[in-house]
Structure formats: structure tokens, C-alpha cells
Amino acid sequence: MTSLMNARLYAIVDLNYVADSNVSSVTAKLLDGGVDVLQLRAKNRPLPDVRRFASELRAQTAERGVPLIVNDHPEVAHDIGADGVHVGQDDMSVAEARAEIGADAVVGKSTHSIAQAIAAASEGADYIGFGPLFATPTKPDYTPIGLDRIAEAHQRVSIPIFCIGGIKLDNLAQVIAAGARRTVIVSGLLNAADVAEYARRAKEMLCQS
């Protein structure tokens, strides 16, 4: 199983981008491309749908030794044997999520400022998402924080930081140069003509940094 400290590329199977009929094939391509962590994001979907797709992804990720994180639903993550759950600023606390999913599970938290990053680490999060760095349709209500705070975040927070938000191959070098060690890529991967190759190229850049 890939550890968070060793992880570089975090991918999200976001059902706003991936048709239900393509979830399994897209997941396979992401895994073929070498992603280190995979999250299921199924915003505004009925709980039975979340559970069904989470179970499907669990079977695929377990076979490859890749951690599976479920967005927003610790009870689903617990029931299907996922490795962790991810919560946002407006969701339950890290402690509440951990109480539902289990003490040994991973709990990640979205952060949008240095203050939130420090707070999440103090709250006991195992990792944070830090962003959005750039404007992104995934988080249209958030003002991009840019690249200037990446280095400071790494100085102030010791848990793994996954930079997120509008990151694509064409700006990944800038993100790495600004101090990022780990990134989440969503639309860039999911909209790629060759998902596996896109993941491989991103992973190679991150591993060389």
C-alpha cells in the first residue's frame, strides 16, 4: 500500500466529469498511469450510488495497492473498507469523521489558506488538500490562492500537503517550482485523451522534483 508520505499524484474520480458507465474504465486507466491515491467524489448523488461506486473502486484499488479515499461519506468508507475519507471546511470535523470511519483510517481535509492548513493539522488530519491554486470549475466559489503560499504551507505544516485546483501538465512545472511536493489533478486527468499517459507524465514530473 502506498503511504501518504511517499505519494505524489492524487487523482479523483469525480462523477461530475465521469459518466456512470465509464467509472470502472477511467479508474483502471488512472491506476495504469500510476496514481498514488484515488478518491471517489460523488457530490449530490444518492447514498446508494455513492456506496455502489465506492465498492467498485475498492475492488480495483485494492488489487493495485492504492489507497481509496471517499469524499464526504465516512459511513460509506467504513462499510466498504476504504482506506479513508476526505472532508471539506463546511463538513464534519476530523474527529467526527474518524469516529465514524475508524481510528486507523486516513482522514484528509480541504484547506484554502495557511490558517486553515495549520488548523487542520492541529485538528489531527492525516493530510490536507491546499488550494485552489488556480481557477477551477471544480471549486467555482473559491478565489484562487495562487502559488505564493505553497512554500509557507510546507514550512508551517508537517503532514502531507496535496496542492489542488486547476493543476494541469502545462502548469505543473510552475507548481513544483513554487514548492509543491504532491498534487491533486482532476479535470486535466479526467478530460485527457489518454488518461493513463497523462498520469504517467504528471507522476514523472513530480517524482523528479
Question: Is residue 169 within 8 Å of 197, Cβ to Cβ?
Answer: no
139 is a catalytic site residue? yes
Secondary structure (3-state) at 177: helix
Residue 5's Cβ-count burial label (10 Å; 0-12, 13-18, 19+) is exposed
Q: Shortest CA distance to 189 belongs to which of 19, 1, 12?
A: 12
Q: Is residue 110 annotated as a catalytic residue, yes or no?
A: yes
Q: Is 41 a catalytic residue?
A: yes
Q: Could you say which of 8, 41, 58, 182 is catalytic?
A: 41
**From 8, 29, 109, 110, the catalytic residue:** 110
Of 2, 8, 5, 4, residue with least CA distance to 180: 8
Q: Which one of the listed residues 8, 29, 139, 203 is annotated catalytic?
A: 139
Tell me which residue of 69, 89, 98 sits closest to 81, measured CA to CA.
69
Given 3-state DSSP classes, what are the helix, strand and coil percentages for the chain, each rounded to the nearest 5? 45, 15, 40
| Cα–Cα dist 113/13, whole Å | 25
Point out the residues that are catalytic: 41, 110, 139
